[in-house]
Amino acid sequence: MIASEKKLIESIRRLASRSRNRAVVQGIGDDCAVVRLSPGHELLVTTDFSIEDVHFRRKWHPARSVGHRCLARGLSDIAAMGGEPLACFLSLGLPAKLPQRWADEFLEGLVRLAKRHGVQLAGGDISAAPKITTDIVLTGQVPTGKAVLRSGARPGDLIYVTGELGASTAALNQLFAGRRLQASPSSRHFFPDPRLEIGSWLRRRGLAAAMIDLSDGLSIDLGHICEESRVSALIDSRQLPIARNATLQLALHGGEDYELLFTAPRSAKIPASIHGVKVTHIGSITRKDYRSAIKILDDNGKQRTLRPLGWQHFRT
């Protein structure tokens, strides 16, 4: 059973005091948090739901993993802008009958990741709810005018991706098939590591023209870059960095890898690895083709249209 609202807030406040960021002038305990940005910087804001039985299942995902994944989603969005995270805000809806221990471990998982990236838990809201419902808000900053947008891709740009693709959905499919998986700290499904250092590295050097994080899957997320930049793309299936336990289909359409997808002019010198993470050239941006936003070169060097097949809500 969840203790009283007051006790829950007290325990969140205690945990939050472990994560500190000097930008936060007033954290939990007022009507609003007060955050001071560095001079010459703009604010970044992103919000992400995690809902029981939609984004996670209690029998598959330990509470620590749910807390970690919840924050990682928001951090990954900050990374995709080339930004620096400052403070997070947690709206937490819990069924009254949920064991208090679940809430405690969820918060521990979240705060541990927050500490690692210097992000302060600075506020939020709590409520009773029919299912565990969390909404995480991340605020961050980026030098004025320097955020890396989805809309910056130009025909001729090369397309790159960090790390490997498909691992998270491969693990999810195993869970769906009834396998029990250890939630190992190195698992990209249970404890994804948002690519903040890489996003910031690329932004500081002005190397990325457009960037997005891979949350819904390559076929959907590259589609977002194409739509916002009014371009098309050609990717080469033989160059995709497919994770060891995954397949080409999972690398193309699997979500929740939280890798970065970015484009850079052909002249930009993109190293083979950044901060120890592999960076792979997987294709190029082309002029807008109204019939197919994304084409893929298959094993035999034949081009075909790649349809978006990643995660979508309200899908029938």
206 lies in the site for a second copy, by CB under 8 A: no
What mask of x and - would describe binding to a second copy in positions 115 to 134, judged by CB under 8 A? -------xxxxxxxxxx-x-
- Distance separating alpha carbons of residues 249 and 262, to the nearest angstrom: 20
Chain residues 132-191 in contact with a second copy, contact rule CB under 8 A: 133, 135, 137-140, 142, 144, 147, 149-151
Listed in sequence order, the residues at least 6 apart from 295 whose beta carbon sits closer than 8 Å to its beta carbon are 232, 233, 234, 235, 286, 289, 303, 304, 305, 306
Candidates 44-52, 230-238, 244-252, 282-290: pick the segment binding a second copy (CB under 8 A). 44-52
57 lies in the site for a second copy, by CB under 8 A: no
70 lies in the site for a second copy, by CB under 8 A: no
54 lies in the site for a second copy, by CB under 8 A: yes
Listed in sequence order, the residues at least 6 apart from 45 whose beta carbon sits closer than 8 Å to its beta carbon are 137, 138, 139
202 lies in the site for a second copy, by CB under 8 A: no
Residue nearer to a second copy on the CB measure, 246 or 293:
293
**Sign of the dihedral defined by the CA atoms of residues 82, 84, 86, 87, in that order:** positive
**∠94-111-119 over CA atoms, to 5°?**
120
- Distance separating alpha carbons of residues 244 and 254, to the nearest angstrom: 14
CB atoms within 10 A of CB 29: 11
219 lies in the site for a second copy, by CB under 8 A: no
Chain residues 82-111 in contact with a second copy, contact rule CB under 8 A: 83, 87, 89, 91, 93-94, 96
Question: Which residue of 34, 179, 249, 287 would you call a contact of a second copy, by CB under 8 A?
Answer: 34
61 lies in the site for a second copy, by CB under 8 A: no
**82: its two tokens:** 């080339």
25 lies in the site for a second copy, by CB under 8 A: yes
Residue nearer to a second copy on the CB measure, 40 or 185:
40
Residue nearer to a second copy on the CB measure, 226 or 234:
226
Residue nearer to a second copy on the CB measure, 87 or 250:
87
Chain residues 257-316 in contact with a second copy, contact rule CB under 8 A: 312-315
Listed in sequence order, the residues at least 6 apart from 55 whose beta carbon sits closer than 8 Å to its beta carbon are 49, 69
Q: How would DSSP label each residue in 164-227? A: -BSHHHHHHHHHHTT------TT-TTTS----HHHHHHHHHTT--SEEEE-SS-HHHHHHHHHH
17 lies in the site for a second copy, by CB under 8 A: no
**266: its two tokens:** 């052909």
State in angstroms the smallest separation of the CB of 149 from a second copy. Answer: 5
228 lies in the site for a second copy, by CB under 8 A: yes
245 lies in the site for a second copy, by CB under 8 A: no
